[in-house]
Structure 1
Amino acid sequence: MSTNALRPARELLLKEYRGVLSTHSKSMPGYPFGSVVPYCLDAEGHPLILISRIAQHTHNLQQDAKCSLLVGEREAEDVQAVGRLTVMAEAHKLTDPAAIEAAAERYYRYFPDAANYHKAHDFDFWVLQPVRHRYIGGFGAIHWLDQVTLANAFAGTAEASMIAHMNSDHANAIAHYVALSDLPRTAPAELVGLDTEGMHLRIGQGVYWLPFPSTCNTPTQVREALVLLARADKWPDASAAGG
């Protein structure tokens, strides 16, 4: 297993927000069933999805929890020359009220429209617990990886507080991050997620992850990184070691 591939594999999972969920078909035994799902990462760094109880993939998961999530770099001209990650996992439906509340708070930041149909229809949160990963970083860069994800040290009150502060008081800094990164300016950007390695911005319906210059292990280090980036004239290269 290559430790050099751990960080790019994890960053791909962070950078994207939708993938192909493959389940074992209940109605067509022996055949895989693929469907597109949006996702964000939960407090443990695992993919979190919100799916309808009447959806085919939900029926499939209720029968067999084994599944995979395929994530590839968006808008790639040559899909075989860019990164893609297959997360082989076991899906677990959240049933604990506190866990559901935490999942909803996080998921709705990334996908605010989901709050409406979640309340109006029978939807449930499921977490994809990774078992193994297959990462391809381009031609010939093929790796089996076990532990790719990282728990989010700020998930919960600390993250929510920092996000609310930035969105309320520092919209200009967020706009500067967008400009530095050449992200779309089709709608005002909002900060929706923070982790030790970077931040998530939501612009319209799209979600974008931007890396910090180095790993931030405390809220103070996050604040220092955000101030540094707000004053930067170009986005610094991430210096944290892989893994």
Structure 2
Amino acid sequence: MNHTNAQDEAGRKAKPVAPKVKELIDRTKSVILATVDAEGIPNSSYAPFVQVNTTLYILVSFMAKHTKNLADGRKTSVMFIEDESATKQIYARERLTIEAAASQVERDSEIWNTVITKLKENHGKVVDVIAEMQDFILIALQPVKGSYVNGFGSAYFVDQNLDILEHRNDVNHQPK
């Protein structure tokens, strides 16, 4: 193996540090949501979010299909993805996909008040208005497991704490 191939191999096996996952989350203001309804019909959407510890919180309206799906406690997946305009390679955008357990937060509870304050800080005064509307509910999305990708052949399992566990696949992309 020549020096260049050895460097490439080392780069593929190098485990990214957990802060890379957290940096992607910190750079993002909204999450992409994937939910399913009672009939198993998929729905994709998005919602602004805040993070408290490892839990993600979204304030969503029942006027959106995803809200009923989430309120009914159905499985969900959330995705954080590098902005298209910032990526060097569209096929290898940095991304974090998480399976999450959804639960509704009781209105005016301590966690409701804490999260609403943080939502206002991050997303502005509009939160004051929508938090008072009765069709809006606060959903907690607790990560279960996921994957983090930061390039070709660079995919990793992520645990419920959003920490990198291990490389997802030791098999590299195969040429034709």
* Residue equivalent to 2:105: 94
How far off is 1:25 after superposition? 2.2
**Is the partner of 1:4 in helix, strand or coil?**
coil
* Residue equivalent to 2:34: 22
Q: Provide, for residues 116-165 of structure 1, a one-character-per-residue CA deviation record: whole Å limited to 9, x for no partner.
A: 12224521111110000211111110111114448xxxxxxxxxxxxxxx
Q: Which moved more, 1:129-138 or 1:60-69?
A: 60-69
Write the distance in 1 (CA, Å) between the matches of 2:27 and 2:54. 13
Instruction: Pick the aligned partner of 1:48 from 51, 54, 57.
Output: 57
Write the distance in 2 (CA, Å) between the matches of 1:88 and 1:115. 29
For these two proteins, the number of residue pairs brought into alignment is: 146
* Residue equivalent to 1:133: 146
Write the distance in 2 (CA, Å) between the matches of 1:102 and 1:93. 15
Percent sequence identity is 27
The answer to whether 1:106 aligns with 2:115 is: no
The 5 A counterparts of 1:210-229 are none
Higher strand proportion (structure 1 or 2): 2
**Is the partner of 1:114 in helix, strand or coil?**
helix
The answer to whether 1:36 aligns with 2:49 is: no
8 A contact 1:49–1:127 mirrored in 2? yes
* Residue equivalent to 2:70: 61
Write the distance in 2 (CA, Å) between the matches of 1:25 and 1:45. 26
How far off is 1:89 after superposition? 0.3
How far off is 1:72 after superposition? 0.4
Judged with a 3 Å threshold, the aligned counterparts in structure 2 of structure 1 residues 82 and 36 are, in CA distance, closer, same or farther, namely same
| Structure 1: unaligned runs, 5 residues or longer | 151-243
Write the distance in 2 (CA, Å) between the matches of 1:104 and 1:54. 20
How far off is 1:7 after superposition? 2.2
8 A contact 2:50–2:115 mirrored in 1? no
| Structure 2: unaligned runs, 5 residues or longer | 1-13, 164-176
* Residue equivalent to 2:5: none
How far off is 1:18 after superposition? 1.2
RMSD: 2.1
How far off is 1:3 after superposition? 5.8
Judged with a 3 Å threshold, the aligned counterparts in structure 2 of structure 1 residues 91 and 3 are, in CA distance, closer, same or farther, namely farther
Judged with a 3 Å threshold, the aligned counterparts in structure 2 of structure 1 residues 148 and 9 are, in CA distance, closer, same or farther, namely farther
Judged with a 3 Å threshold, the aligned counterparts in structure 2 of structure 1 residues 13 and 93 are, in CA distance, closer, same or farther, namely same
Letter in 2 for 1:17: K
Letter in 2 for 1:40: V
Superposition TM-score, scaled by structure 2 size: 0.74
Judged with a 3 Å threshold, the aligned counterparts in structure 2 of structure 1 residues 137 and 5 are, in CA distance, closer, same or farther, namely farther
